[in-house]
Amino acid sequence: MAAPDSVTLKDLSGTWVMNKTLSDDTDAVLKLQGISWLVRRAIAYSTITLYAKEYVDDAKVYHIDIDQVSSPGSIKNREERALDWVFHEKDDSFFGKVKGRTRWIKLEDVSDEYMNQGWAKECVDGEVIDAYVESIGGGWVAEQIWGFAEVDGGRRHVRRSVVKKGKQVERVSLVYDWQK
């Protein structure tokens, strides 16, 4: 379902379901990130739901906490992002030890053509979310741009990712439907 105009990057709170028909296949990216074949198969055949809560703390820093759940199979992962562009380390239940940072950015400052094209006017005129993650020990880095785009006739939350490991580069676009 398309996201209503009232849902913006300044408040992504709610339930989002990955639209597998409109999203790219994630297998090559997950393989590059060291995810096993069995887990990649489980992900391919499951529904991925994001339960997001966005808020601003007393220091005026935006935070986005996301519980990601796949069903069937109940693979769960929690993301806690502070949009302060400071590295935060965590032992991720899915990707292992990682460090990441997140910020607001203008699309004109995004150098990768794949990630800065095709966004809705609100993103072109305003800001998008830039999420950067490095694997500690896994050798890969990932950068995502989060925003909204017109996809299949509706305004949808989209995340475009570029994942690199050595000379190997994989790109994937994930499209999420609004649930509530």
Residue written as token pair 């997001």: 52
92 burial via Cβ count (<10 Å: 0-12, 13-18, 19+):
middle
φ/ψ of 84, rounded to 5, equals: -120, 0
pLDDT tens per residue, range 55-67:
999 999 999 999 9
pLDDT score for 96: 87
Task: List pLDDT tens digits, range 159-169.
Answer: 999 999 999 99
Q: In the structure encoding, which two tokens stand for residue 176, read together?
A: 């999420």
CA distance readout (Å), 55 to 1, 4, 11, 24, 129: 24, 19, 7, 29, 14
CATH class of 14-178: mainly beta
* Cα 151 from Cα 20, distance rounded (Å): 13
Domain ranges for the chain, please list them. Answer: 14-178
Note the Cα 34 to chain centre separation in Å: 18
pLDDT, position 73: 63
Chain Cα centroid distance, residue 80 = 12
Report pLDDT digits (tens) over 79-112: 899 999 999 999 987 788 999 999 999 999 999 9
